[in-house]
């Protein structure tokens, strides 16, 4: 078995609604397979590990945007180092916004992003709050809750994570981002718990770099069953039928 390190970025600022738990969800999945995992909370350059296998960043409130952006500046070099060494990047909500090229604030100011994702966020648009469901990039039913302001424009270098059924304005039909060892979604904090197939995809990529194959355990099967029930309830509330 192998040992993995997951860096959780600015969890005290970017951990809204449980989005900081993405790191723990991935860690639990890896541990269920017998691997050793360390989750390291990174608050600034001084406590950033020299090498990590996965970078996880959560969402934040509108009032935390400027603070988070300022603190991320000191970590941009480390993001580049981690990416160059093959680290997987997982971003939720505002974390995705801030790891893109730039964020336009509600007041029209442009805040530079970390430049990890080929995307740009515009917070001058209305907030969307509500459940969404659809099929992901591999045709798997996926669902969750969104509470995000603004819109995101994706550039080249990746694909939408999922296609949303019967999307309600202003939420787009295409949601999220999947690319070269990059994953992002605007679905809320428990996105990886409600959609453990996404967690499995990330974990599979991580273990394959160590020469292992992802083989689901009883734990993974139980999680998948529970998550399927949760998604079914969301689909029912939305009037979505998969039959």
**Under 8 Å between Cβ of 95 and 137:** no
- The residues facing 129 across adjacent strands are 147
Q: Is residue 243 part of a domain?
A: no
- Residue 219 inside a domain? The answer is yes
**pLDDT tens, N- to C-terminus, the chain (243 residues):** 899 999 999 999 999 888 999 999 999 999 999 999 999 999 999 999 999 999 999 999 888 899 999 999 999 999 999 999 999 999 999 999 999 999 999 999 999 999 999 999 999 988 888 999 999 999 999 999 998 888 899 888 899 999 999 666 667 789 999 999 999 999 987 899 999 999 999 999 999 999 999 999 999 999 999 999 999 999 999 998 886
Is 205 a member of any domain? yes
Whether 124 is in a domain gets the answer yes
- 3-class secondary-structure state, position 198: helix
Task: Give the per-residue pLDDT at 242.
Answer: 80
CATH of the domain at 228: 3.40.50.880
Residue at 194 is within a domain:
yes
Tell me the residue range of the domain where 101 lies: 3-238
186 located within any domain: yes
Burial 207-221 (b: 16+ CB within 10 A, else e): beeeebebebeeebe
Answer whether residue 83 is part of any domain: yes
Token pair listed for 7: 């860096």
State the pLDDT at residue 178.
97
145 forms beta bridges with 131
Q: How many CB atoms lie within 10 A of CB 19?
A: 27
∠ CA 139-125-10, rounded to 5°: 75
Residue with tokens 């550039």: 155
pLDDT at 170: 66
- Separation CA 195–CA 134 (nearest Å): 11
pTM for this entry: 0.95
pLDDT of residue 169: 65
| Closest CA relative to residue 184, chosen from 211, 152, 212 | 152
Interatomic CA distance for residues 152 and 120, integer angstroms: 6
Picking from 77, 91, 6, the residue whose alpha carbon sits closest to that of residue 40 is: 6
The sign of the CA dihedral 60, 61, 63, 65 is: positive
> How many domains, in total, are found in the chain?
1
Structure tokens at 85: 């060494």
Alpha helices in the chain (DSSP H): 22-32, 65-73, 76-84, 94-99, 191-194, 196-208, 218-238
User: Exposed (0-12), middle (13-18) or buried (19+): which is 20, by Cβ within 10 Å?
Assistant: buried
């Amino acid at each position: 078995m192998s040992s993995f390190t997951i860096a959780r970025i600015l969890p005290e600022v970017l951990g809204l609604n449980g989005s900081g738990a993405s790191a723990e969800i991935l860690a639990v999945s890896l541990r269920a397979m017998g691997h050793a995992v360390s989750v390291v909370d990174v608050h600034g350059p001084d406590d950033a590990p020299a090498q990590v296998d996965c970078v996880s960043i959560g969402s934040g409130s509108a009032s935390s945007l400027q603070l988070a952006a300022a603190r991320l500046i000191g970590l941009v070099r480390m993001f580049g180092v981690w990416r160059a060494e093959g680290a997987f990047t997982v971003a939720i909500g505002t974390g995705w916004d801030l790891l893109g090229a730039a964020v336009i604030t509600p007041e029209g100011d442009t805040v530079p992003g970390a430049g990890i994702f080929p995307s740009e966020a515009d917070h001058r648009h209305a907030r969307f709050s509500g459940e969404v469901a659809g099929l992901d990039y591999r045709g798997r039913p996926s669902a969750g809750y969104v509470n995000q302001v603004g819109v995101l424009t994706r550039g080249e270098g990746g694909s939408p994570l999922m296609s949303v059924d019967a999307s309600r304005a202003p939420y787009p039909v295409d949601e999220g981002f999947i690319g070269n060892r990059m994953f992002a979604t605007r679905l809320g904090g428990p996105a990886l718990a409600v959609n453990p197939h996404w967690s499995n995809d990330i974990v599979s990529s991580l273990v394959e770099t160590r020469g292992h194959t992802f083989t689901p355990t009883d734990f993974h099967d139980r999680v998948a069953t529970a998550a399927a029930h949760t998604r079914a309830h969301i689909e029912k509330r939305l009037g979505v039928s998969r039959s």
